[in-house]
Amino acid sequence: MRTREAPIRNALEYGAARMLVAVAAVLPRRWIPGFCAALGRVGWWFLGGRRRVVRDNLRLAYRGAPEAPRADVVGPASVANLVQSFLELFLMPVDPDRVRATLMQFRGPTPKEIEARFDGAPCIWAAAHFGAWEVLGSAGPLLGFDVTTLVRPLDNPLLQEWVARKRTQFGAQLAASRGGLADLVAAVEDGRQVAILADLNHRGRGAAFIDFFGVKAATARTIAVLALKYDRPVIPVFCHRMPDGRFGFDTGTPIVPNRSAPYDAEVHRILQEVADTIETRIRECPGAWLWTHRRWKTRPPESAAQESA
């Protein structure tokens, strides 16, 4: 991903982000959700293009079903969740013992317990832009996620450098989404776990088209390729906010690769199970997902041909 060559815009965005964090840092922590909700409502009305994306996504995902959430409810909540996830990255204490003792709770098996179940070898973690995803990536190593995470670098180089420092403050390592497969392979072979955000539209060649809310969604094969290459389980993982201000980490059912199955069919199965797990979480709490992302932007070849006919 190329950095954006726009020094004035980059500086303004960076300054605004620093100011936002500075304001949030002086607020009582119990005010942060309300502060973010207010920013979400304001942002919703200023982000005209993204409002259209949210409405289009909801129409695709729910297709007029009675349980379909309203765009003017989910949209502001999604923007608020994005802002809150960003702020949480910078508002965490710098003392790892304090973070581990006061802010974290793991529901279900811990990463070390899951590793032990699979002979102590590293697992592949499938995450999503859901809930407190920045806390999951940054503070995860404090709970046993000795992890290298595949991320898309930000267009703004000033923001990218600042955010990357915070994302790695507790020992996480980052691999860029473009050309990052080699970093992930090296991490697995070095005994590290890897984590991949599995809910992004994949524009590159070789995308697998997986059903997501019943609509074909272009998905990177990376998770399944690594799972099959190294015979490692894929573990869906999420981080949610708890009423008492702590963060809860929980995992989905391990997806174990079957290396004796036909390769392409097994890649599809693994990716489909990951997508199904993420979809289930989103349906439970729609406002906690990044509906502003154009998840269905890349269409299957047959769909593109029909739409252009």
What is the count of structural domains for the chain? Answer: 1
Residue 177 CA to residue 82 CA, distance in Å, equals 20
Report phi then psi at 158, rounded to 5: -65, -45
H-type helices in the chain, by residue range?
A: 7-26, 32-46, 48-62, 71-91, 96-102, 111-117, 133-139, 157-167, 181-189, 222-230, 263-284, 301-308
81 within some domain: yes
Residue 126's domain comprises 7-308
Query: Would residue 97 count as lying in a domain?
Result: yes
Contact 289, 242 (CB under 8 A): no
**C-beta neighbour count of 33 within 10 angstroms:** 14
- Is the residue at 1 inside a domain? no
Q: What is the pTM of this model?
A: 0.93
Give the pLDDT of the chain (309 residues) as one tens digit per residue. 456 678 899 999 999 999 999 999 999 999 999 999 999 999 999 988 999 999 999 999 999 999 999 999 999 999 999 999 999 999 999 898 888 877 777 777 777 888 888 888 889 999 999 999 999 889 878 877 778 998 888 899 999 999 999 999 998 899 876 667 888 999 999 988 899 999 999 987 889 999 999 999 999 999 999 999 999 999 999 999 988 888 988 888 899 999 999 999 999 999 999 999 999 999 999 999 999 999 999 999 876 544 444
Asked, for residue 61, whether it belongs to a domain, the answer is yes
On whether the CB atoms of residues 201 and 295 are closer than 8 A, the answer is: yes
